[in-house]
Amino acid sequence: MLKCYSDAACDTMEHNMDLHKALILGIESSCDDTAASVLEVNPKGSKIKSSIVYNQFNLHKEYGGVVPEIAARAHAELIDVVVEKSLKTAKVAMTDINAIGVTAGPGLIGGVLSGLMFAKGLSVSTNKPLIGVNHLAGHALTPRLTNKVAFPYLVLLVSGGHCQFLIVHNYNEYERLGGTIDDAPGEAFDKAARLLGLQQPGGPAIEEAAKKGDSNRFDLPRPLLNREDCNFSFSGLKTALMRKQAGLMDKQGGLFKKDVSDLSASFQQAMHDVIIEKSIRAIDLYSKFTNENQTFAIAGGVAANEKIRYSLQKVCKTKKIDFLAPPLELCTDNAAIIAYAAAERFLHGAYDDTTISARPRWPLDNKKPAILGSGKKGSKA
Ligand code: KG4
Ligand code: ZN
């Protein structure tokens, strides 16, 4: 039995929550996407009534990475428009909303502040509960938004800003098995693409170029593979690629199309091998916690890579555990996942108030020492 949340008037009464539904407004602004979403949660599941994402890619592309000040200003300028559009698309008014969930970190602090300050103002002016969401929890809980996956499950976040294995024990308890000590994998794909003269975002461009390439032509390292843990390092791989590219430039004065394809294929193969091997280790660790209804889920832009996705699927089949890859629009940054993480807290009555602070770093697992990786999209908390 939980407190009824369908009507502010029954705040003091106890109701069976199963009788009700709630509408959560989600707001996301931690990196380069300004996003808002209206999510309906009810006992049967969740329904995304709207999910609006404004990407800032064009604002940053000439700088080769996200410029925090530009990002923060763009979020501040757009956030009210995006929220309004999400309400309009969902055909609801602010009065219908039961709670506001907003990313309170980790991320680029200016961007997080833009969203959080807006949400605080909205919460005070409309008298709706405020829930400050850990952005990483949004990603980690996505399998429950899409598939009602049971706890505990294993999730691998692989994007331009994140890289970690987490066992999700419940909505509020996460155990990090490993993560990157430097770049995130998407960041490595992006840097590699830039080096090879391919377009951004680099992951899809490398994947495309690799299709015609020979992955055995260049011998690139598989960083940290000889270490028994689930940690990653991608910056040395990028440097190794740079050396191969520079060698060809010295010898030939430039790169032929075949060179770009072969370098892309060799780079993708190295990324793939490390991610697959570390995933096998993470699954083995996870299997010590539970052998019932086991699920391994991936999230983040790099999860779109067909080669990596296919191999992870095969690994899970061999290990006899369920494999889940949420649709891409929910793997990449959006506000529906923030609304869902807020909904899980809302159902447990875990609200915040306006004293909540924006946090540039916010590890989901605070029992383990922080991984100090940091890159173009901010800290890897
Ligand atoms: O989750 P996401 O959309 O955004 C953030 O990181 O915030 O991830 C974007 C990252 C980019 O670095 C992009 O290069 C990478 O995901 N990515 C891929 C692929 N599609 C996107 N990496 C490898 N293969 C892909 N097919
Ligand atoms: Zn993210």
3-state secondary structure of 182: coil
Ligand nearest to the CA of 138: 2
Question: Which span out of 12-21, 296-305, 362-371 was modeled with the highest average pLDDT?
Answer: 296-305
Confidence at residue 34, expressed as pLDDT on a 0 to 100 scale: 95
Ligand 1 neighbour 161 (Cβ under 6 A) = yes
pLDDT > 70: percent of the chain:
92
**Residue type for 139, please?**
H
**How many residues are present in the chain?**
381
Confidence at residue 57, expressed as pLDDT on a 0 to 100 scale: 82
Task: List the residue whose alpha carbon is closest to atom 19 of ligand 1.
Answer: 203
Ligand nearest to the CA of 60: 1
Which residues are 297's β-sheet partners? 155, 324
Ligand nearest to the CA of 299: 1
Quick one: average pLDDT of 134-160? 94
Task: State the average pLDDT for the chain.
Answer: 90
Which residues are 170's β-sheet partners? 173
Would you say 163 and 282 are in contact if contact means Cβ atoms under 8 Å apart?
Answer: no
3-state secondary structure of 360: coil
> How would you label 200-216 residue by residue, b for 16+ Cβ within 10 Å and e otherwise?
bbbbbbbbebbeebebe
Model confidence at 33: pLDDT above 80: yes
Ligand 1 neighbour 132 (Cβ under 6 A) = no
Confidence at residue 372, expressed as pLDDT on a 0 to 100 scale: 59
Ligand 1 neighbour 182 (Cβ under 6 A) = no
Q: How far is the CA of 206 from the centre of ligand 1 (A)?
A: 11
pLDDT digits (tens, 9 = 90+) for 41-98: 987 889 999 999 998 888 888 887 788 889 889 999 999 999 999 999 999 999 999 9
Q: How far is the CA of 98 from the centre of ligand 1 (A)?
A: 33
The closest of 126, 110, 37, 38 to 74, measured between CA atoms, is: 110
Mutate which of 159, 163, 330 for ligand 1 pocket (most atoms within 8 A of beta carbon): 159
Going by pLDDT thresholds of 50, 70 and 90, the confidence category of residue 160 is: confident
Confidence at residue 260, expressed as pLDDT on a 0 to 100 scale: 98
Residue 124, CB-side half-sphere exposure with 13 Å CA sphere: 8
Residues 6+ apart with CB under 8 A from 311: 272, 276
Confidence at residue 1, expressed as pLDDT on a 0 to 100 scale: 33
95 class by beta-carbon count within 10 Å (0-12 exposed, 13-18 middle, 19+ buried): exposed
Q: How far is the CA of 201 from the centre of ligand 1 (A)?
A: 7
Going by pLDDT thresholds of 50, 70 and 90, the confidence category of residue 19 is: very low
Q: Which atom of ligand 1 is nearest to the CA of 162?
A: 6
What is the pTM assigned to this prediction? 0.89
The mean-pLDDT minimum among 11-15, 165-169, 233-237, 314-318 falls in 11-15
147 class by beta-carbon count within 10 Å (0-12 exposed, 13-18 middle, 19+ buried): middle
Domains of the chain and any CATH numbers: 7-146+332-363 (3.30.420.40), 153-329 (3.30.420.40)
pLDDT digits (tens, 9 = 90+) for 358-376: 999 898 988 887 775 544 4
Model confidence at 314: pLDDT above 50: yes
Other CB atoms within 10 A of residue 323 CB: 16
Confidence at residue 256, expressed as pLDDT on a 0 to 100 scale: 96
The mean-pLDDT minimum among 2-11, 199-208, 233-242 falls in 2-11
CA distance 379 to 357: 17
CA distance 267 to 197: 14
Task: List the residue whose alpha carbon is closest to atom 26 of ligand 1.
Answer: 305
Ligand 1 neighbour 160 (Cβ under 6 A) = yes
Ligand nearest to the CA of 332: 1
pLDDT digits (tens, 9 = 90+) for 109-140: 999 999 999 999 999 999 999 999 999 999 99
Ligand 1 neighbour 302 (Cβ under 6 A) = yes
Sheet of 295-299, strands arranged across: 173-179, 163-170, 153-158, 295-299, 322-324
- Residue 248 vs residues 219, 241, 256, 262: alpha-carbon distances, Å: 14, 11, 9, 12
Confidence at residue 296, expressed as pLDDT on a 0 to 100 scale: 98
pLDDT > 90: percent of the chain:
74
Would you say 304 and 203 are in contact if contact means Cβ atoms under 8 Å apart?
Answer: yes
Ligand 1 neighbour 186 (Cβ under 6 A) = yes
Q: How far is the CA of 300 from the centre of ligand 1 (A)?
A: 7
Model confidence at 381: pLDDT above 60: no
